[in-house]
């Protein structure tokens, strides 16, 4: 492995999934302006996530309903004149 290409300064950080409130602690170099008190009583930097493995449809098994038929109809109406 090449030396000097990986960042230094790893520290414990709390990641919080804002969609369902799930939080976990891990090591990271990502910057953060917020802190949060963790279960062990210590304060750690907080990084908010929009999605994690607890809310992603692939991991939860719940599929998101996508209106593909509506998209296709809108596309056809928009370019109908150009196709003729």
Measured CA to CA in angstroms, residue 62 lies from 26, 52, 55, 56, 83 at distances of 26, 14, 9, 8, 38
Q: Does 47 map to a domain?
A: yes
Q: Is residue 66 part of a domain?
A: yes
pLDDT for res 40? 95
73 in a domain, yes or no? Answer: yes
- Give me the domain span that covers residue 34: 11-83
pTM here is 0.64
- pLDDT attached to residue 84: 60
- Is residue 71 assigned to a domain? yes
Number of structural domains, the chain? 1
Report pLDDT for 57.
64
Question: Is residue 15 a part of any domain in this protein?
Answer: yes
pLDDT tens per residue, the chain (84 residues)?
A: 688 888 888 999 999 988 888 999 999 999 999 999 999 999 999 999 888 877 766 666 666 555 556 777 777 777 776 666
Please give the pLDDT value at position 75: 77
Asked if residue 3 is part of any domain, the answer here is no
């Amino acid at each position: 492995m090449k030396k000097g290409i990986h960042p230094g300064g790893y520290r414990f950080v709390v990641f919080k999934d804002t969609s369902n409130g799930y939080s976990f602690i891990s090591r990271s170099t990502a910057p953060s302006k917020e802190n949060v008190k963790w279960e062990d009583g210590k304060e750690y930097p907080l990084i908010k996530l929009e999605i994690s493995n607890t809310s992603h449809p692939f991991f939860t098994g719940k599929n998101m309903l996508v209106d593909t038929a509506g998209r296709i109809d809108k596309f056809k109406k928009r370019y109908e004149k150009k196709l003729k």
